[in-house]
Structure 1
Amino acid sequence: MLIRYATLDDLDLIAPLFAAYRVFYEQAHDLPAARAFIAERLSLRESVILLGQDDAGAALGFIQLYPVFSSIAAERIWLLSDLFVSDAARGQGVARALMSKATQHARDSGAAWLELSTAHTNRKAQALYESLGYQLDTVYRYYSLGV
Protein backbone atom coordinates (compact mmCIF):
# COMPACT_ATOMS: atom_id res chain seq x y z
CA MET A 1 0.00 0.00 0.00
CA LEU A 2 1.21 3.49 -0.87
CA ILE A 3 -0.05 6.67 0.82
CA ARG A 4 0.92 9.83 -1.03
CA TYR A 5 -0.07 13.41 -1.72
CA ALA A 6 -2.60 13.67 -4.53
CA THR A 7 -2.32 16.08 -7.44
CA LEU A 8 -4.71 17.17 -10.18
CA ASP A 9 -3.38 14.24 -12.21
CA ASP A 10 -5.13 11.95 -9.70
CA LEU A 11 -8.57 13.47 -10.24
CA ASP A 12 -9.99 10.37 -11.95
CA LEU A 13 -8.84 8.21 -9.00
CA ILE A 14 -10.18 10.48 -6.27
CA ALA A 15 -13.49 11.65 -7.75
CA PRO A 16 -15.25 8.24 -7.55
CA LEU A 17 -14.10 7.83 -3.95
CA PHE A 18 -15.31 11.33 -3.09
CA ALA A 19 -18.67 10.67 -4.76
CA ALA A 20 -19.04 7.48 -2.68
CA TYR A 21 -18.02 9.38 0.46
CA ARG A 22 -20.84 11.86 -0.16
CA VAL A 23 -23.32 9.00 -0.65
CA PHE A 24 -22.25 7.63 2.74
CA TYR A 25 -23.38 10.98 4.18
CA GLU A 26 -26.74 10.68 2.39
CA GLN A 27 -26.03 12.90 -0.60
CA ALA A 28 -27.01 11.97 -4.13
CA HIS A 29 -24.36 10.17 -6.17
CA ASP A 30 -23.00 12.89 -8.44
CA LEU A 31 -19.65 12.08 -10.02
CA PRO A 32 -19.43 15.35 -12.04
CA ALA A 33 -20.01 17.43 -8.89
CA ALA A 34 -17.46 15.36 -6.96
CA ARG A 35 -14.92 15.76 -9.73
CA ALA A 36 -15.48 19.53 -9.99
CA PHE A 37 -15.24 20.00 -6.22
CA ILE A 38 -11.98 18.07 -5.90
CA ALA A 39 -10.52 19.75 -8.99
CA GLU A 40 -11.25 23.16 -7.53
CA ARG A 41 -9.77 22.33 -4.12
CA LEU A 42 -6.58 20.98 -5.68
CA SER A 43 -6.17 23.66 -8.33
CA LEU A 44 -6.66 26.47 -5.80
CA ARG A 45 -4.49 24.64 -3.24
CA GLU A 46 -7.28 24.97 -0.70
CA SER A 47 -6.84 21.45 0.64
CA VAL A 48 -4.36 18.63 0.93
CA ILE A 49 -5.54 15.24 -0.23
CA LEU A 50 -3.77 12.06 0.79
CA LEU A 51 -4.43 9.13 -1.52
CA GLY A 52 -4.07 5.45 -0.65
CA GLN A 53 -3.29 3.07 -3.50
CA ASP A 54 -2.59 -0.62 -3.84
CA ASP A 55 0.49 -2.01 -5.60
CA ALA A 56 -1.32 -1.93 -8.96
CA GLY A 57 -2.19 1.76 -8.54
CA ALA A 58 -5.89 1.31 -7.75
CA ALA A 59 -7.33 3.90 -5.37
CA LEU A 60 -8.17 2.49 -1.94
CA GLY A 61 -9.13 5.59 -0.01
CA PHE A 62 -8.37 9.22 0.73
CA ILE A 63 -8.21 11.90 3.41
CA GLN A 64 -8.86 15.57 2.73
CA LEU A 65 -7.31 18.16 5.05
CA TYR A 66 -8.09 21.86 5.22
CA PRO A 67 -5.79 24.43 6.82
CA VAL A 68 -7.38 26.27 9.73
CA PHE A 69 -5.97 28.59 12.36
CA SER A 70 -6.68 28.74 16.07
CA SER A 71 -6.92 32.33 17.26
CA ILE A 72 -6.83 31.20 20.88
CA ALA A 73 -3.69 29.09 20.44
CA ALA A 74 -2.31 31.46 17.76
CA GLU A 75 -1.27 28.42 15.73
CA ARG A 76 -2.11 26.49 12.58
CA ILE A 77 -4.29 23.42 12.84
CA TRP A 78 -5.57 21.02 10.20
CA LEU A 79 -9.20 20.08 9.81
CA LEU A 80 -9.42 16.44 8.83
CA SER A 81 -12.61 16.92 6.88
CA ASP A 82 -12.98 13.75 4.85
CA LEU A 83 -11.85 10.17 5.28
CA PHE A 84 -13.12 7.41 3.03
CA VAL A 85 -12.01 3.88 2.19
CA SER A 86 -13.60 1.90 -0.63
CA ASP A 87 -15.79 -1.03 0.38
CA ALA A 88 -13.34 -3.49 -1.21
CA ALA A 89 -10.40 -2.10 0.80
CA ARG A 90 -12.02 -1.97 4.24
CA GLY A 91 -10.42 -4.00 6.99
CA GLN A 92 -6.96 -3.80 5.40
CA GLY A 93 -5.56 -0.93 7.49
CA VAL A 94 -6.04 1.73 4.83
CA ALA A 95 -7.82 4.20 7.13
CA ARG A 96 -5.17 3.77 9.82
CA ALA A 97 -2.37 4.32 7.26
CA LEU A 98 -4.11 7.43 5.92
CA MET A 99 -4.55 8.76 9.46
CA SER A 100 -0.87 8.17 10.18
CA LYS A 101 0.14 10.11 7.08
CA ALA A 102 -2.24 12.94 8.05
CA THR A 103 -0.63 13.11 11.50
CA GLN A 104 2.81 13.24 9.91
CA HIS A 105 1.67 16.01 7.56
CA ALA A 106 0.38 18.03 10.52
CA ARG A 107 3.67 17.60 12.38
CA ASP A 108 5.76 18.43 9.31
CA SER A 109 3.78 21.62 8.68
CA GLY A 110 4.17 22.80 12.28
CA ALA A 111 0.51 22.45 13.18
CA ALA A 112 -0.59 22.37 16.80
CA TRP A 113 -3.20 19.64 16.25
CA LEU A 114 -5.59 17.85 13.94
CA GLU A 115 -9.32 18.30 14.39
CA LEU A 116 -12.16 16.20 13.00
CA SER A 117 -15.80 15.39 13.42
CA THR A 118 -17.96 12.46 12.43
CA ALA A 119 -21.58 11.44 12.61
CA HIS A 120 -22.83 10.40 16.04
CA THR A 121 -23.82 7.06 14.48
CA ASN A 122 -20.45 6.34 12.83
CA ARG A 123 -19.16 4.02 15.55
CA LYS A 124 -16.46 2.42 13.39
CA ALA A 125 -14.85 5.79 12.69
CA GLN A 126 -15.14 6.78 16.34
CA ALA A 127 -13.40 3.58 17.40
CA LEU A 128 -10.56 4.23 14.94
CA TYR A 129 -10.09 7.83 16.07
CA GLU A 130 -10.13 6.92 19.74
CA SER A 131 -7.64 4.07 19.15
CA LEU A 132 -5.30 6.69 17.65
CA GLY A 133 -5.55 8.98 20.66
CA TYR A 134 -8.19 11.44 19.47
CA GLN A 135 -10.33 12.73 22.30
CA LEU A 136 -13.97 13.73 22.23
CA ASP A 137 -14.33 17.46 22.90
CA THR A 138 -16.10 18.04 26.18
CA VAL A 139 -15.32 21.78 26.42
CA TYR A 140 -16.84 23.32 23.29
CA ARG A 141 -20.13 22.91 21.46
CA TYR A 142 -20.00 23.26 17.71
CA TYR A 143 -22.79 25.04 15.89
CA SER A 144 -23.47 25.77 12.24
CA LEU A 145 -25.74 28.11 10.34
CA GLY A 146 -26.83 27.55 6.79
CA VAL A 147 -26.57 30.74 4.72
Structure 2
Amino acid sequence: MTTIAALTSADFDEWNPLWQGYLTFYKSEIARDVTEATFVRMVADQELHGAIARDDQGLAIGFVHWLTHAGTWTTATYCYLEDLFVSPHSRGGGTGRQLIEHVCAWAAAAGSEKVYWLTAHDNGSARHLYDKVAEHTGFVHYEMLV
Protein backbone atom coordinates (compact mmCIF):
# COMPACT_ATOMS: atom_id res chain seq x y z
CA MET A 1 0.00 0.00 0.00
CA THR A 2 1.36 3.41 -0.96
CA THR A 3 1.56 6.05 1.75
CA ILE A 4 1.84 9.80 1.22
CA ALA A 5 3.45 12.04 3.85
CA ALA A 6 4.77 15.58 4.07
CA LEU A 7 8.44 15.94 3.22
CA THR A 8 10.81 16.05 6.18
CA SER A 9 14.50 16.92 6.28
CA ALA A 10 15.25 13.18 6.66
CA ASP A 11 13.78 12.54 3.18
CA PHE A 12 16.41 14.41 1.14
CA ASP A 13 18.58 11.42 0.24
CA GLU A 14 15.56 9.52 -1.13
CA TRP A 15 13.78 12.53 -2.64
CA ASN A 16 16.79 13.86 -4.54
CA PRO A 17 17.22 10.86 -6.91
CA LEU A 18 13.52 11.14 -7.77
CA TRP A 19 13.96 14.89 -8.29
CA GLN A 20 16.93 14.24 -10.57
CA GLY A 21 14.83 11.72 -12.53
CA TYR A 22 12.11 14.34 -12.92
CA LEU A 23 14.60 16.92 -14.15
CA THR A 24 16.10 14.40 -16.58
CA PHE A 25 12.64 13.62 -17.95
CA TYR A 26 12.13 17.32 -18.68
CA LYS A 27 15.70 17.66 -20.04
CA SER A 28 16.52 20.23 -17.35
CA GLU A 29 19.31 20.89 -14.90
CA ILE A 30 19.13 22.84 -11.67
CA ALA A 31 22.15 23.84 -9.63
CA ARG A 32 22.72 21.83 -6.44
CA ASP A 33 22.32 24.92 -4.23
CA VAL A 34 18.91 25.66 -5.81
CA THR A 35 17.82 22.06 -5.31
CA GLU A 36 18.88 22.17 -1.66
CA ALA A 37 17.22 25.55 -1.04
CA THR A 38 14.01 24.37 -2.71
CA PHE A 39 13.95 21.26 -0.54
CA VAL A 40 14.47 23.34 2.64
CA ARG A 41 11.59 25.63 1.60
CA MET A 42 9.29 22.65 1.07
CA VAL A 43 10.21 21.11 4.41
CA ALA A 44 9.43 24.48 6.06
CA ASP A 45 5.92 24.03 4.59
CA GLN A 46 5.14 27.73 4.31
CA GLU A 47 5.38 29.07 0.77
CA LEU A 48 6.18 25.75 -0.94
CA HIS A 49 4.80 22.37 0.06
CA GLY A 50 5.89 18.85 -0.73
CA ALA A 51 4.95 15.25 -0.08
CA ILE A 52 6.68 11.96 -0.72
CA ALA A 53 5.09 8.66 -1.71
CA ARG A 54 6.41 5.40 -0.28
CA ASP A 55 5.59 1.84 -1.27
CA ASP A 56 4.60 -0.89 1.18
CA GLN A 57 8.29 -1.54 1.91
CA GLY A 58 8.88 2.11 2.80
CA LEU A 59 10.86 2.96 -0.35
CA ALA A 60 10.37 6.43 -1.85
CA ILE A 61 8.65 6.06 -5.22
CA GLY A 62 7.31 9.54 -5.99
CA PHE A 63 6.72 13.10 -4.92
CA VAL A 64 4.49 16.09 -5.43
CA HIS A 65 5.20 19.81 -4.88
CA TRP A 66 2.67 22.63 -4.77
CA LEU A 67 2.00 26.21 -3.75
CA THR A 68 -0.98 28.52 -3.41
CA HIS A 69 -1.50 32.02 -4.73
CA ALA A 70 -4.17 34.70 -4.88
CA GLY A 71 -6.32 34.97 -7.96
CA THR A 72 -8.19 37.81 -9.62
CA TRP A 73 -11.28 35.72 -10.34
CA THR A 74 -11.86 34.58 -6.75
CA THR A 75 -11.50 35.69 -3.15
CA ALA A 76 -10.07 32.26 -2.34
CA THR A 77 -6.64 31.01 -3.40
CA TYR A 78 -5.67 28.75 -6.26
CA CYS A 79 -3.37 25.80 -5.71
CA TYR A 80 -0.71 25.19 -8.35
CA LEU A 81 0.60 21.64 -8.47
CA GLU A 82 4.07 22.42 -9.78
CA ASP A 83 5.87 19.06 -9.86
CA LEU A 84 4.64 15.47 -9.84
CA PHE A 85 6.83 12.43 -10.40
CA VAL A 86 6.51 8.69 -9.90
CA SER A 87 9.52 6.46 -10.49
CA PRO A 88 9.22 4.56 -13.78
CA HIS A 89 9.13 1.14 -12.08
CA SER A 90 6.16 2.25 -9.93
CA ARG A 91 3.96 3.82 -12.59
CA GLY A 92 0.52 2.47 -13.33
CA GLY A 93 -0.20 1.47 -9.74
CA GLY A 94 -2.21 4.52 -8.69
CA THR A 95 0.55 6.53 -7.00
CA GLY A 96 0.18 9.52 -9.33
CA ARG A 97 -3.54 9.65 -8.64
CA GLN A 98 -2.91 9.40 -4.89
CA LEU A 99 -0.42 12.27 -5.04
CA ILE A 100 -2.93 14.45 -6.90
CA GLU A 101 -5.66 13.50 -4.40
CA HIS A 102 -3.28 14.41 -1.55
CA VAL A 103 -2.80 17.90 -2.97
CA CYS A 104 -6.54 18.29 -3.61
CA ALA A 105 -7.36 17.34 -0.01
CA TRP A 106 -4.71 19.74 1.26
CA ALA A 107 -6.02 22.53 -0.99
CA ALA A 108 -9.61 21.98 0.13
CA ALA A 109 -8.57 22.15 3.78
CA ALA A 110 -6.59 25.34 3.04
CA GLY A 111 -9.61 26.96 1.38
CA SER A 112 -8.33 26.95 -2.19
CA GLU A 113 -10.88 27.09 -4.97
CA LYS A 114 -9.09 24.82 -7.43
CA VAL A 115 -5.95 22.82 -8.12
CA TYR A 116 -4.32 23.18 -11.51
CA TRP A 117 -1.12 22.08 -13.24
CA LEU A 118 0.79 21.99 -16.53
CA THR A 119 2.47 19.17 -18.38
CA ALA A 120 4.28 18.70 -21.64
CA HIS A 121 1.93 18.12 -24.58
CA ASP A 122 3.77 14.88 -25.41
CA ASN A 123 3.76 13.47 -21.86
CA GLY A 124 1.33 10.73 -22.87
CA SER A 125 1.47 8.55 -19.77
CA ALA A 126 0.80 11.49 -17.44
CA ARG A 127 -1.89 12.94 -19.68
CA HIS A 128 -3.65 9.57 -19.70
CA LEU A 129 -4.10 9.95 -15.93
CA TYR A 130 -4.79 13.69 -16.02
CA ASP A 131 -7.57 13.23 -18.57
CA LYS A 132 -9.27 10.88 -16.09
CA VAL A 133 -9.01 13.08 -12.99
CA ALA A 134 -9.24 16.66 -14.31
CA GLU A 135 -10.54 18.82 -17.11
CA HIS A 136 -8.21 19.79 -19.96
CA THR A 137 -8.83 23.53 -20.30
CA GLY A 138 -7.30 23.98 -23.75
CA PHE A 139 -5.10 26.85 -22.62
CA VAL A 140 -1.67 27.27 -24.20
CA HIS A 141 1.25 28.08 -21.90
CA TYR A 142 3.68 30.93 -22.60
CA GLU A 143 6.55 32.26 -20.53
CA MET A 144 9.30 34.85 -20.59
CA LEU A 145 12.44 34.86 -18.50
CA VAL A 146 13.13 38.17 -16.76
Q: One fold, TM greater than 0.5?
A: yes
Say whether the 8 Å CA contact 2:64–2:83 is kept in structure 1.
yes
Unpaired runs of 5+ residues, structure 1, are none
Shift of 1:87: 1.4
Say whether the 8 Å CA contact 2:9–2:43 is kept in structure 1.
yes
SS for the counterpart of 1:92 is: coil
Deviates more, 1:113-122 or 1:98-107: 98-107
Q: Which residue of 1 aligns with 2:43?
A: 42
Unpaired runs of 5+ residues, structure 2, are none
Q: Which residue of 1 aligns with 2:15?
A: 14
Counterpart AA for 1:109: A
Residues 30 and 120 from structure 1, CA distance in 2 versus in 1: closer, same or farther, beyond 3 angstroms?
A: same
User: CA RMSD of the aligned region, Å?
Assistant: 2.0
Say whether the 8 Å CA contact 2:77–2:113 is kept in structure 1.
yes
Aligned length, in residue pairs: 145
Say whether the 8 Å CA contact 1:65–1:79 is kept in structure 2.
yes
CA distance in 1, matches of 2:88, 2:30: 16
SS for the counterpart of 2:104 is: helix
Shift of 1:142: 3.7
Q: In percent, how many aligned pairs have the same letter?
A: 27
Shift of 1:31: 6.2
Counterpart AA for 2:137: D
Say whether the 8 Å CA contact 2:7–2:42 is kept in structure 1.
no
Q: Which residue of 2 aligns with 1:108?
A: 109
Q: Which residue of 1 aligns with 2:137?
A: 137
- Provide runs of 4+ in structure 1 moved above 6 Å: 29-32
Shift of 1:104: 0.8
CA distance in 1, matches of 2:94, 2:80: 21
SS for the counterpart of 1:117 is: coil
CA distance in 2, matches of 1:141, 1:72: 19
CA distance in 1, matches of 2:31, 2:62: 18
Residues 142 and 73 from structure 1, CA distance in 2 versus in 1: closer, same or farther, beyond 3 angstroms?
A: farther
CA distance in 1, matches of 2:23, 2:16: 11
